[in-house]
């Protein structure tokens, strides 16, 4: 018994799922598409149109009302992207850094992720065991686009997903430093669900802060969103390069 209804296929395009601070500068939006899914409503309407000649479906994962990370309906978001006919998905994900040598303002293109405590699946009632991995080809394209965009970035790193909505304690960060490079609350779910439905997924992580207890500045939510706003311009440059190269 499959719990995943079939996916009608319309056309091939790239999906971009981003946080609240990124708008797609230069995107010609042809249509705002509302979608219904068997898993409920996606975070928002999809902006479907063209960025540097490549067809794109853009979704702000926190929606207009600022859905907190632990309440995002990731299954609806990914299911809807698949139904729209997307073949690959780029996540733009805000992270804190566990490494002094990866400062706020940098970008990380992670090569793996860790989220053993909370796994989402489309397959709740059927044995379906993907071997999770970020898409190598899409990562290579992102690394090339980031190089050409001239941004400061790290071409690999392990992303650790915490549950949220609170940030981590200093003790949690001391533990997590043994296992990864950046911490966020969204990417692992998106990567896993995309892989389950055959969508290539890779991420541009925006390093918006040092994690709690790293460095000497106290960590505040305000600082994180301010840095995310500042980082948006370089992420737009990476995405524009990527679309030019693959369009």
Query: Which residues here bind ligand HPA, judged by CB under 6 A?
Result: 94-96, 162, 167-168, 183-185, 208-209, 211, 224
Closer to ligand HPA by CB, 2 or 169: give it.
169
Q: Encoding tokens for residue 149?
A: 């965009």
Q: What's 101's DSSP letter?
A: T
Can you say how many angstroms the Cα of residue 145 is from the centroid of all Cα atoms in its chain? 17
CA 241, CA 239: separation in Å to the nearest integer? Answer: 5
Closer to ligand HPA by CB, 16 or 95: give it.
95
Q: What angle do CA 16, 22, 23 make, to 5 degrees?
A: 80
Closer to ligand HPA by CB, 13 or 219: give it.
219
- Nearest residue to ligand HPA by CB is 96
Q: What's 70's DSSP letter?
A: G
> What stretches of the chain show up as alpha helix (H) in DSSP?
74-84, 136-149, 170-176, 187-196, 221-246
Closer to ligand HPA by CB, 110 or 184: give it.
184
Closer to ligand HPA by CB, 57 or 207: give it.
207
CA proximity to 163, closest of 209, 228, 117, 213: 117
**β-strands 46-51, 28-33 pairing:** antiparallel
> CB of residue 43 vs ligand HPA: minimum separation in angstroms?
17
> CB of residue 136 vs ligand HPA: minimum separation in angstroms?
25
Beta bridge partners of 94: 206
Those residues whose C-beta lies under 8 Å from the C-beta of residue 176, and which sit 6 or more positions away, are 98, 160, 162, 168, 183, 211
Closer to ligand HPA by CB, 192 or 209: give it.
209
Q: Encoding tokens for residue 160?
A: 């650790």
- Axis-axis angle for helices 187-196, 74-84 (nearest 10): 40
């Amino acid at each position: 018994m499959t719990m995943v209804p079939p996916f009608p296929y319309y056309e091939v395009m790239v999906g971009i799922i981003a946080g609240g601070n990124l708008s797609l500068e230069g995107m010609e939006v042809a249509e705002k598409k509302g979608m219904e899914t068997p898993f409920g409503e996606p975070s928002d309407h999809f902006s479907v149109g063209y960025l540097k000649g490549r067809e794109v479906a853009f979704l702000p994962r926190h929606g207009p009302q600022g859905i907190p990370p632990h309440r995002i309906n990731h299954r609806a978001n990914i299911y809807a992207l698949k139904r729209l006919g997307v073949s690959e998905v780029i996540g733009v994900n805000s992270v804190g850094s566990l490494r002094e040598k990866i400062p706020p303002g940098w970008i990380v293109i992670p090569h793996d992720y860790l989220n053993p405590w909370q796994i989402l699946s489309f397959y709740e009632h059927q044995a379906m065991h993907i071997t999770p991995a970020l898409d190598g080809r899409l990562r290579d394209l992102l690394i090339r686009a980031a190089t050409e965009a001239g941004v400061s970035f790290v071409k690999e790193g392990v992303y650790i997903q915490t549950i949220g909505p609170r940030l981590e304690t200093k003790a949690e960060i001391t533990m997590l430093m043994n296992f990864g490079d950046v911490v966020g609350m969204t990417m692992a779910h998106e990567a896993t669900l995309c892989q389950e439905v055959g969508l290539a997924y890779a991420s541009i992580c925006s390093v918006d802060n040092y994690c709690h207890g790293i460095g000497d500045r106290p960590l505040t939510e305000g600082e994180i969103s301010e840095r995310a706003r500042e980082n948006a311009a370089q992420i737009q440059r990476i995405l524009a390069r990527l679309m030019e190269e693959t369009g």
